[in-house]
Amino acid sequence: MELRHLRYFLAAAQSESFTRAADVLHITQPTLSHQIKQIEDELGMLLFDRVGRVVKLTTAGEVFMGYAKRALQEVDSGMDALHELSNLRHGKLTLGVLSSFGTFRLPQILGNFNFAYPGIKVTLLRLRSGEIEKRLLDGELNFGVAYAPSSTDQIGVQPLYTEPLALLVGDRHPLVGCPGISLSALSKHGLVLLSAEYNSRKMIDAMLFANGVTPHIVMEMNAIEPILATVRYSSLATILAANFIHETPGLHQVPLSPTLMHTAAIFTRRDSHLSAAVRALIKTIRQRF
């Protein structure tokens, strides 16, 4: 069995279609089908159930997928180690970030990084916290940038900075210019918040619950940008990092009492090899913050 067989198998498993996988791999569908058949013949069992044009992993295929991923990860790590000998003239990396980081925090950093290391290809994916953790464990990301906590036996967390949360309101809101608001008073105001899968939302929920507050949640969204736009053009409010008022005109912050804080962090898989390119970008991000 050769490395190409593993790459073909994983592409087919992800696409659930030999035709789509062949397009991604730039080979013909019959060629891919033949290569998959070779793997199955060598292993002595079927890896896919073929149902029309859709293919699904068998139980054996699901078991084999984990080992195939790890094998290719080790090979890719070895190639990254060899690329390090090129003094960062070449390389590639993939990072997963929350939408707010991809839009507001990282573009300038990535621009500076590209200027310093033009030969390194960077792929940035905007993902939810849970998806970042899953893809780290699956080896699909080199690292992630999100809000802590998520430190586990398998995922390490390097804090970047801690910042206060505030009630953010638009020009129409009655609290514009207010010096502050207690958590207990939040129930009087309609809120638009991040959806429940985000770590920052989970932290907000926990803090409000601990203070006996039942918030009046009117809307939930899974991205920062539409939340800020909705607040700007309505009488709703949100709870987000106070610094967002500098990113979006027409927003005002109302400090919360007691203050809520959250910590941005770099997430890595504990047993992963960090290539020179990955270490260089992490260093660039840490220096910025």
Confidence of residue 114 (pLDDT cuts 50, 70, 90): very high
| Distance from C-alpha of 235 to C-alpha of 171, rounded to nearest angstrom | 8
Kindly report, residue by residue over 6-53, the tens digit of the pLDDT: 888 898 888 888 888 888 889 998 888 898 899 888 989 899 888 877
pLDDT above 60 (res 143) = yes
| Distance from C-alpha of 114 to C-alpha of 14, rounded to nearest angstrom | 30
Q: Taking Cα atoms as reference points, which of 106, 83, 104, 126 lies closest to residue 275?
A: 83
Is CATH 3.40.190.290 what the domain over 161-262 is classified as, yes or no? yes
**Which structure tokens are listed for 94?**
């993939």
pTM score of the predicted model = 0.65
**Which structure tokens are listed for 229?**
């736009």
Q: Average of pLDDT values for 284-289?
A: 89
Work out the number of other CB atoms within 10 angstroms of the CB of residue 154: 12
**Range with the poorest average pLDDT among 39-48, 100-109, 208-217, 254-263:** 100-109
Q: At residue 228, what are phi and psi to the nearest 5 degrees?
A: -65, -40
Q: Taking Cα atoms as reference points, which of 3, 18, 4 lies closest to residue 56?
A: 18
| Distance from C-alpha of 129 to C-alpha of 160, rounded to nearest angstrom | 16
Work out the number of other CB atoms within 10 angstroms of the CB of residue 183: 20
12 and 53 in contact (C-beta within 8 Å)? no
Q: How confident is the prediction for the chain on average, in pLDDT?
A: 88
| Distance from C-alpha of 94 to C-alpha of 3, rounded to nearest angstrom | 21
Helical residues (DSSP H) of 57-192, grouped into ranges:
59-84, 99-100, 107-116, 129-137
Placement of tokens 């700007």 in the chain: 232
**Range with the poorest average pLDDT among 80-84, 159-163, 165-169, 228-232:** 80-84
Domains 83-160+264-288 and 161-262 share a fold: yes
Where in the chain are the domains?
Answer: 3-67, 83-160+264-288, 161-262
Placement of tokens 């990955």 in the chain: 278
* Assigned CATH class of 3-67: mainly alpha
| Distance from C-alpha of 172 to C-alpha of 176, rounded to nearest angstrom | 8
* Assigned CATH class of 83-160+264-288: alpha beta
